[in-house]
């Protein structure tokens, strides 16, 4: 066990052999004492504790969860059931699998499971005031969520299928997608190949910047590039099951990844604070320009004394913008990046999407949000990409707000809860041959209609009261970007190269970068939007 502890500590940070030995010995001693002192609450009569693996006396199950945590917990759930308990260090963690069980917890018993655990890494996100990561789930949190939803709705209402108008989101995505078409073709002329992720992430971030701040950045803007290129540092530390969040001793050991995580959060918050300050200085109640202005408007409507209104709302707005902006660019970028990887892996699927686009939209105009209902195969592909990649394998951890019961198991208040979305998306009870990539699984027998009931079984954005507030606009962006790109371009890989779809585990599942993409122009849009 001492050897295992040393291995864990050594992987967490760069320390010498003697320091690791002393730390491991202290680690074992402290936790053995804590485990002896720790009293678990008694289980009420007629109920039981959730089953689960025993693990090591000090480390718990941390070693078996260190690699591909989503797969390890999915394997354990097949043995112990949809409600099980693992230990990370000495801390018990409830793990929920199975769609019915997760819906029961997050939807039917939503108030019981809507908390967030007070994890050390969460305290560095927006100075501990992030709506998404905050342990608070009371009236203040609900009010802030409502404000964010109102602001998002104001600038992203989809037009009806019969309307000739476009929404702001649609306009921004169309412009950025057209930029990508031009950029990819230019790269083909200059270098004959390209790596799409670095261009996708800036275009997607520009959409969020336009929505939140009313501005667009050039693709070589160093401030923006520094921000998006360091986002991986956030994912690595915020990954579910990070030992440093559960084993206090690890928080005091040198850790390069934690330092980068803290630096990123400080830089990101500073970046947002500067923009919010500019919005306050130029705010005009008769000209609400973007989401940040909308949030300022809502705060100022609360009739707070002028002297304090410019202080308290400013802090709240920065935190809300942090959540909207932070979630927006990463989720959509990963969805598009995974989509391109699947499209070059399965060229027949790419061809079917393009045939559908040709038949339903043609070559005279760009795709619009109102086209979604007439493009069932395109929508089915997006759902299958979400399901098969499951690039958000877990929700942000939940926590119980009171003692509760789930599937006959007693769950004490303040229990940390992991929701395994990857397991649901690959559950053989829900999906036929879940490891195969097959968009047709979401279509009716004749392929003319999307099966929405099956689509609702795919978990990516969570469920219940903590469901991602940006889900709708994320889905809209993925559709518009993909439809616009595939209408005009055909993607492939250089001869002799294959896409590697092996996921790399962190807060999200990323694929390895691929630098051998090619794009061929199918046709140029003759008309406008």
SS3 for 469?
Answer: coil
pTM of the model: 0.88
| 464 closest CA partner among 56, 113, 121, 68 | 113
The candidate with the shortest Cα–Cα distance to 125, out of 253, 278, 237, 255, is 237
Annotated binding site: 468
Give me the sign of the Cα torsion angle 70, 76, 78, 80: negative
Number of other CB atoms surrounding residue 515 within 10 Å: 14
Q: Does domain 40-521 have CATH number 1.10.10.10?
A: no
- Residues 169, 324 contacting (CB under 8 angstroms): no
CB 451 within 8 A of CB 444: yes
Measure CA 290 to chain center. 23
Comparing CA positions, the residue from 265, 299, 302 lying closest to residue 280 is 299
What's the pLDDT at 525?
76
Q: What is the pLDDT along the chain (529 residues), one digit of tens a residue?
A: 434 443 443 444 444 556 555 665 665 555 555 554 455 678 888 889 999 998 888 788 988 888 899 999 999 999 999 999 999 988 999 999 999 999 999 999 999 999 999 888 888 777 777 778 877 777 778 888 888 888 888 777 655 555 555 578 899 999 999 999 999 999 999 989 999 998 999 999 999 999 888 888 888 888 888 877 777 667 666 666 677 788 777 777 777 778 878 888 888 888 888 999 999 999 998 998 888 988 888 887 754 444 333 344 456 788 888 888 876 678 999 999 999 999 999 999 999 999 999 999 998 899 999 999 999 999 999 999 999 999 999 999 999 999 999 999 999 999 999 999 999 999 999 999 999 999 999 999 998 999 999 999 999 999 999 998 889 899 999 999 999 999 999 999 999 999 999 998 877 899 998 999 999 999 877 655 5
The Cα-based distances of 451 to 231, 356, 360, 455, 457 in angstroms read 35, 17, 19, 6, 11
Q: Which residue positions form the known binding site for heme?
A: 468
H or E element: which one contains 417? strand 416-419
Which helix (H) or strand (E) is 212 found in, with range? helix 197-213
Residue 406: which H helix or E strand, with range?
Answer: strand 404-406
The DSSP-derived string for 218-255 is -TT-HHHHHHHHTHHHHHHHHSTT-GGGT-GGGGGS--
What is the side-by-side order of every strand in the sheet holding 416-419? 83-88, 91-96, 416-419, 398-399
Domain ranges across the chain:
40-521
Distance CA 10, CA 167 (A): 52
Rounded Cα distance between 122 and 116, Å, is 9
Residue 343 has φ and ψ, to the nearest 5°, of: -65, -35
Residue 19's pLDDT is what?
Answer: 56
Could you give the C-alpha distances from 219 to 139, 180, 205, 207, 391, in angstroms and in order? 41, 11, 10, 12, 25
Q: Spell out the long-range contacts of 449-452 with Cβ–Cβ below 8 A and sequence spacing 24 or more.
A: 449/376, 450/376, 450/379, 450/380, 450/383
CA angle 283, 289, 293 (to 5 degrees): 50
With beta carbons less than 8 A apart as the criterion, state whether 317 and 128 touch: no
* Element of type H or E holding 69: helix 69-80
Tokens of 250: 């690890």
DSSP H helical ranges for 282-311: 291-300, 306-309
Give buried/exposed letters for 53-67 (b at 16+ CB in 10 A, else e). Answer: eebbebbbbbbbbbe
């Amino acid at each position: 066990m001492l050897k295992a502890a040393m291995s864990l500590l050594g992987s967490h940070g760069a320390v010498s052999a003697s320091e690791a030995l002393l730390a491991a010995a202290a680690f074992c001693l402290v936790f053995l004492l804590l485990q002896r002192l720790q009293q678990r609450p008694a289980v009420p009569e007629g109920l039981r504790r959730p089953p689960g693996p025993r693990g090591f006396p000090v480390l718990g199950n941390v070693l078996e969860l260190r690699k591909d945590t989503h797969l390890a917990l999915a394997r354990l759930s097949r043995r112990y059931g949809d409600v099980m308990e693992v230990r990370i260090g000495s801390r018990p963690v409830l793990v929920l699998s199975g769609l019915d069980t997760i819906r029961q917890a997050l939807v039917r018993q939503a108030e019981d499971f809507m908390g967030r655990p007070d994890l050390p890494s969460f305290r560095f996100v927006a100075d501990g005031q992030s709506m998404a990561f905050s342990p608070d789930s009371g009236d203040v949190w609900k009010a802030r969520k409502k404000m964010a939803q109102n602001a998002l709705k104001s600038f992203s209402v989809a037009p009806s299928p019969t309307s000739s108008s476009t929404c702001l989101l649609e306009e921004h995505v169309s412009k950025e997608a057209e930029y990508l078409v031009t950029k990819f073709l230019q790269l083909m002329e200059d270098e004959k190949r390209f790596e799409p992720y670095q261009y996708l992430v800036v275009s997607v971030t520009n959409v969020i910047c336009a929505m939140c701040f009313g501005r667009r950045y050039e693709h070589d803007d160093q401030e923006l590039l520094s921000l998006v290129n360091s986002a991986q540092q956030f994912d690595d530390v915020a990954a579910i099951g990070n030992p440093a969040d559960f084993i206090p001793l690890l928080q005091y050991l040198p850790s390069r990844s934690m330092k980068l995580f803290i630096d990123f959060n400080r830089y990101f918050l500073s970046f947002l604070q500067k923009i919010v300050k500019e919005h306050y200085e130029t705010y005009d109640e008769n000209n609400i320009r973007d989401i940040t202005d909308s949030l300022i408007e809502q705060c100022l409507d609360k009739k707070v004394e002028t002297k304090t209104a410019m202080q308290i709302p400013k802090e709240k707005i920065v935190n809300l913008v942090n959540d909207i902006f932070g979630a927006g660019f990463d989720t959509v970028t990963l969805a598009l990046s995974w989509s391109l990887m699947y499209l070059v892996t399965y060229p027949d699927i790419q061809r079917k999407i393009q045939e559908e686009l040709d038949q339903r939209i043609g070559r005279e105009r760009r795709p619009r949000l109102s086209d979604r209902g007439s493009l069932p195969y395109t929508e089915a592909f997006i759902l299958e990409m979400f399901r098969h990649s499951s690039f958000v394998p877990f929700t942000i951890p939940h926590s119980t707000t009171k003692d509760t019961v789930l599937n006959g198991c007693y769950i004490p208040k303040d229990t940390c809860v992991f929701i395994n979305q990857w397991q649901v998306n690959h559950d053989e009870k829900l999906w036929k041959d879940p490891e195969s990539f097959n968009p047709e699984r979401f279509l009716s027998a004749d392929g003319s209609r999307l099966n929405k009931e099956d689509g609702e079984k795919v978990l990516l954005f969570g469920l219940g009261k903590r469901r991602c507030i940006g889900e709708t606009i994320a889905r809209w962006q993925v559709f518009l970007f993909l439809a616009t790109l595939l209408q005009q371009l055909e993607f492939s890989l250089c001869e002799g190269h294959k896409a590697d779809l092996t996921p790399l585990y962190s807060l999200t599942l990323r694929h390895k970068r691929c630098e051998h993409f090619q794009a061929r122009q199918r046709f140029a849009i003759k008309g406008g939007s």
